[in-house]
Amino acid sequence: MNYTIKQDKKFQYIEEGNGPVLILLHGLFGALSNWNHVIEQFSSKYKVVIPLMPIYELPLLLTNVKQLAKFIHKFTAYKKYESYTLIGNSLGGHVALVYATKYPKKVHSLVLTGSSGLYENAMGGTFPRREDYNYIKQKVEYTFYDPANASKELVDECYEIVNNRTKLIRILSLAKSAIRHNMGKEVKSIEVPTCLIWGRNDTITPPDVAEDFHQLIPHSELFWIDQCGHAAMMERPQAFNQILASWLEKVIK
């Protein structure tokens, strides 16, 4: 299903439905379409918002996780959202964590899936054979438990990004920023209810990462999805949505 991307001054975003606000944060290579199944199910009960983060627009020296969190803060202030649930995958989870530690009064609750912030086998670390389409295809397949989920559309998009010098420089800058910014000490201060939904077969942010987040974040709950890799909302959408729906019903009164 295609959704309209709204252009509002300097912000681009999807906004569907009405109710408590859910803000979905995409990953480093994530497309807005990664969240299609979440929008379809939850926009009947919630206001589902996906801001398009300026990964390729920030000045190179400001291309880092902290600046993306500041961008989300400016966006939520502009939209006058008072309280919301942040839902982040991969780099988006890392941005959500930074946001929750910097602006705790605005965050009602937090959902992380395959989040960076502690340790990750960063897909964006190096691309020694970026002109080799099959090499990029293997990199995308590595994201999933079932390689069949690496559609040609996803592979083509990733291939275009890493072969665009301007985009690649920023991808590498963000990946290195995420690796440097370990949040092991900071996440202990997060007091909001936190839901961890993790693929049991995640090779990018392995299960040990989920266990560590669970130990470090005080009010966290950890849910596993079997036969699932790094992008649970894409690979196992039914299981992901079922866990998320039950948890939101419990924490959002």
| CATH code, domain carrying 81 | 3.40.50.1820
Tell me, yes or no, whether 22 lies in a domain: yes
Rg value, the chain, Cα: 17
CA 151, 154, 158, 164 torsion: positive or negative? positive
Residues 212 and 69 sit within 8 Å (Cβ to Cβ)? no
Which range has the worst mean pLDDT, 96-100, 147-151, 209-213, 245-249?
147-151
pLDDT at 32 over 70: yes
Tell me, yes or no, whether 70 lies in a domain: yes
pLDDT at 127 over 80: no
pLDDT at 73 over 70: yes
SS3 149: helix
- Do you know the residue count of the chain? 253
Tell me, yes or no, whether 133 lies in a domain: no
Other beta carbons within 10 Å of 137: 18
Distances from the Cα of 217 to the Cα of 54, 89, 97, 209, 221, angstroms: 28, 17, 10, 12, 9
Tell me, yes or no, whether 220 lies in a domain: yes
Over residues 84-99, the mean pLDDT reads 96
Confidence band of 128 (pLDDT split at 50, 70, 90): low
The candidate with the shortest Cα–Cα distance to 224, out of 237, 238, 239, is 239
Tell me, yes or no, whether 167 lies in a domain: no
Other beta carbons within 10 Å of 116: 32
Dihedral Cα 115, 118, 124, 127, nearest 10 deg: -140
Q: Angle, nearest 10°, between helix axes 91-102 and 65-79?
A: 70
Tell me, yes or no, whether 83 lies in a domain: yes
pLDDT tens for each residue of 174-207? 888 888 889 999 999 999 999 999 999 999 999 9
Confidence band of 1 (pLDDT split at 50, 70, 90): low
The Cα 1–Cα 118 span in angstroms is 34
pLDDT of residue 222: 98
Q: Does pTM top 0.95 for this prediction?
A: no
Domain that holds residue 96: 6-123+182-251
Tell me, yes or no, whether 144 lies in a domain: no
The Cα 19–Cα 34 span in angstroms is 22
The candidate with the shortest Cα–Cα distance to 247, out of 73, 42, 91, is 42
Tell me, yes or no, whether 170 lies in a domain: no
pLDDT at 166 over 50: yes
Instruction: Give the number of domains in the chain.
Output: 1
- Residue 25 one-letter amino acid: L
Q: What percent of the chain has pLDDT over 90?
A: 67
The candidate with the shortest Cα–Cα distance to 247, out of 225, 228, 220, 211, is 220
The candidate with the shortest Cα–Cα distance to 169, out of 126, 205, 206, is 126
The first and second tokens of residue 20, run together, are 């408590």
